[in-house]
Amino acid sequence: MKHYDLSEIKIYPLSIKDIDQVYAIEVETFPTPWSRASFVSQLLGRRSNIYLVAKKNNEVIGYTGIVKKNKSGHITTIAVKHDFKRKKIGTLLLISLIRTAKKRGITRLFLEVRQSNMIAQKFYERFNFFTAGKIRRYYLDSGEDALVMVVDDITNYEYKDIILKLEGELKT
C-alpha cells in the first residue's frame, strides 16, 4: 500500500470547477449518488453551507460538507476517491470541516450513516460521535435504516483535545 505525504494534500472550499471531479467520486462511492445539480445547489445555496475538497496537485481526492441549521451542522457527505482510501484523507477532511464549522458558530454536529456501515461508524466514533437514534428505512436504494450520530459540543476543551490527538495521528 502506497503511503502519501499528507503535506501534499491541501484543503480548499468547493468551487464550481471541482464539481465534475467530486461527482465522479460520488458515483464511485455511493449506491444512490447525488446528482451534479445537487452539488451545484449545495454550493450556490445558503452561504452558511460549508463544502470542502481535498486536493493533491489539482486532483480532487475527497470532499465533505455541512449544512448549517442555527448552531447545528448536518454533515451531509464525506467521501474519498477509491485510490486514496485508508490514507487518512477522510480524517484530514473531517478535522478541517470541524475547524471551519466552529469558526462559523456551529457547536453541534450530526449525520446519518447506514446501520450496516461499521467502518464509517468506527471512523465517526474516533471523533466522539455517538449514536443518538435511528431513522427506519432511510436509504431508498435498500430500505436500510440509518443511525443518527451526534457530537453535542465541538467547542469545549475536551473536544479540542480529541481533535489535537487526531491531528497528531496524521503526522505518524
pLDDT for 98 equals 97
Task: Report, as residue numbers or ranges, the catalytic residues.
Answer: 112, 124
Query: Which pLDDT tens digit goes with each residue over 105-118?
Result: 999 999 999 999 99
- For residue 172, pLDDT beyond 50: yes
The pLDDT of 9-24, averaged and rounded, is: 95
Query: Which pLDDT tens digit goes with each residue over 121-165?
Result: 999 999 999 999 999 988 878 888 999 999 999 999 999 999 999
- For residue 69, pLDDT beyond 50: yes
- For residue 1, pLDDT beyond 70: no
What spatial distance separates the first Cα and last Cα of the chain, rounded to whole Å? 16
C-alpha pair distances (Å), 63 with each of 14, 94, 134, 142: 8, 9, 25, 24
